[in-house]
C-alpha cells in the first residue's frame, strides 16, 4: 500500500554503525522521509527539533545507549508518544523485556528481514495515526469543532498546578448566549446550531495568546481559560468577546434588549493556592455570569469575592 501521507511521514534512524543505517535506509527510503543520527545526543537533538513519526533505535551505542535515549524521550511529555522500535543484534529475551518495559512498541533483532521491518514499521505508524486521530476527536466538540469540556478539564488541571508553582494568576471566563432557548424556538434548531458555531468561532478569535483555550462547556455555554493572566487582562479579553459577538449582528427577535444575539460573560481570576481546587475557579466565574444575567445580560461581570478560599 502506498498513499500520499506515507511519503510525508518521517522516521529517525539511530545507529552508531553507518552500514546498519544504510541497510535500513534501503529498506524504508521509498515509503518515508528518513533522517539519521549516529549517537544518542544527536538523536535527542533531532527529535526535539522536528519530532518524527517513528524512531528506529539501536540499543548498543557508545556514550549514550538506546535505553538512555528511550528513557529521555519517555520523560518528555511532548515526545513520549513517538513510537520507538529497538533494533539490536542481541537475542537475549531479557533485553527485549527491558526495551519493552521502557515503553518501546517493538523489538527487531539483526540480521533482519527487510519485508518484515517494512510491515512492522507500517503497522506501528498506522496505529500511531489512529491514536492521534482519536485523541484529537475526543477533545473536540462535534458541532462547533472547538475543544470540548474534556479538553478544558484537562487543561484547567494542568494550568492550575502550573500557576500554583509559579505564583502567577489564572483567569477563566464563562460566556453564555443570551435568550438562546428563545432563539431556538424562534428560528429552529438548525439555525440555532449555526449560531453556536458562529459565536464559538468569534469567541475563539478574540483570544490573544497561543496558550489561551476556548472550549464549548455545554449547551450555549463557552469557557475561556487564560493562564498567567491577571484580572485586568481577563476583563480586556471579555470586553473584546462581548464586542465581537455584538458586531456579528445576528438578528434575534426574542432578545428584547437588543434585537440581536449577545452573550453574558462572567470573569474570575485567582492566585491558585496549594489547598484550593480548580473547580472553585469555575464556580466563581459561574456566579459572576449569574450576576451578568441578573443585571440585564450583554455585559461582563467580574467575580469580586476574596480569593482566600480558592
H helices within 75-148, ranges in order?
Answer: 93-101, 114-138
Query: Is residue 58 involved in binding Mg ion (CB under 5 A)?
Result: yes
d(CA 106, CA 88): 11
Query: Is residue 178 involved in binding Mg ion (CB under 5 A)?
Result: no
Count the residues of the shown chain that bind Mg ion, applying the rule CB under 5 A. Answer: 3
> What is residue 247's three-state secondary structure?
helix
For Mg ion, the closer CB: 58 or 159: 58
> What is residue 116's three-state secondary structure?
helix
d(CA 152, CA 150): 5
Query: Is residue 194 involved in binding Mg ion (CB under 5 A)?
Result: no
Query: Is residue 60 involved in binding Mg ion (CB under 5 A)?
Result: yes
Query: Is residue 16 involved in binding Mg ion (CB under 5 A)?
Result: yes
For Mg ion, the closer CB: 69 or 250: 69
Q: Judged by CB under 5 A, which stretch of 13-21, 39-47, 206-214, 253-261 contacts Mg ion?
A: 13-21
Q: Judged by CB under 5 A, which stretch of 9-17, 107-115, 283-291, 299-307 contacts Mg ion?
A: 9-17
What is the nearest approach in angstroms of Mg ion to the Cβ of residue 43?
Answer: 12
H helices within the chain, ranges in order?
Answer: 4-8, 18-28, 40-49, 66-74, 93-101, 114-138, 149-166, 180-187, 189-205, 231-248, 279-294
Task: Give CA torsion, residues 49, 55, 61, 66, to 10 deg.
Answer: 100
For Mg ion, the closer CB: 15 or 178: 15
- For residue 111, whether the previous peptide bond is cis, meaning omega lies within 30 degrees of 0, is yes
Contact 59, 69 (CB under 8 A): no
What is the nearest approach in angstroms of Mg ion to the Cβ of residue 214?
Answer: 48
Residue carrying the nine cell digits 544518542 = 40
What is the nearest approach in angstroms of Mg ion to the Cβ of residue 59?
Answer: 7
Query: Is residue 65 involved in binding Mg ion (CB under 5 A)?
Result: no
For Mg ion, the closer CB: 92 or 130: 92
What is the nearest approach in angstroms of Mg ion to the Cβ of residue 104?
Answer: 16
Query: Is residue 64 involved in binding Mg ion (CB under 5 A)?
Result: no
What is the nearest approach in angstroms of Mg ion to the Cβ of residue 114?
Answer: 19
Site residues (CB under 5 A) for Mg ion?
16, 58, 60
Amino acid at each position: 500500500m502506498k498513499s500520499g501521507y506515507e511519503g510525508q511521514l518521517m522516521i529517525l534512524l539511530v545507529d552508531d554503525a553507518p552500514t546498519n543505517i544504510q541497510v535500513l535506509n534501503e529498506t524504508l527510503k521509498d515509503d518515508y522521509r528518513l533522517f539519521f543520527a549516529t549517537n544518542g545526543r544527536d538523536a535527542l537533538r533531532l527529535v526535539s527539533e522536528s519530532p518524527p513519526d517513528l524512531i528506529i533505535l539501536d540499543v548498543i551505542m557508545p556514550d549514550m545507549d538506546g535505553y538512555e535515549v528511550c528513557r529521555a524521550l519517555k520523560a518528555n511529555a511532548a515526545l513520549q508518544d513517538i513510537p520507538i522500535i529497538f533494533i539490536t543484534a542481541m537475542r537475549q529475551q531479557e533485553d527485549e523485556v527491558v526495551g519493552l518495559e521502557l515503553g518501546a512498541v517493538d523489538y527487531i533483532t539483526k540480521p533482519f528481514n527487510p519485508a518484515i521491518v517494512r510491515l512492522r514499521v507500517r503497522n506501528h505508524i498506522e496505529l500511531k495515526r489512529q491514536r492521534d486521530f482519536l485523541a484529537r476527536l475526543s477533545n473536540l466538540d462535534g458541532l462547533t469543532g472547538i475543544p470540548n469540556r474534556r479538553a478544558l478539564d484537562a487543561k484547567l488541571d494542568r494550568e492550575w498546578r502550573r500557576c500554583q508553582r509559579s505564583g502567577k494568576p489564572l483567569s477563566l471566563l464563562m460566556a453564555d448566549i443570551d435568550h438562546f432557548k428563545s432563539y431556538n424556538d424562534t428560528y429552529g434548531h438548525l439555525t440555532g446550531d449555526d449560531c453556536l458555531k458562529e459565536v464559538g468561532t468569534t469567541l475563539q478569535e478574540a483570544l490573544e495568546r497561543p496558550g489561551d483555550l476556548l472550549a464549548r462547556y455545554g449547551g450555549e455555554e463557552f469557557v475561556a481559560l487564560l493562564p498567567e493572566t491577571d484580572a485586568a487582562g481577563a476583563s480586556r479579553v471579555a470586553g473584546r468577546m462581548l464586542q465581537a459577538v455584538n458586531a456579528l449582528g445576528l438578528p434575534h427577535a426574542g432578545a428584547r434588549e437588543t434585537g440581536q444575539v449577545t452573550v453574558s460573560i462572567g470573569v474570575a481570576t485567582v492566585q491558585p493556592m496549594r489547598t484550593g481546587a480548580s473547580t472553585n475557579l469555575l464556580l466563581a466565574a459561574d456566579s459572576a455570569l449569574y450576576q451578568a444575567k441578573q443585571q440585564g445580560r450583554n455585559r461582563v461581570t467580574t467575580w469580586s469575592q476574596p480569593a482566600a478560599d480558592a
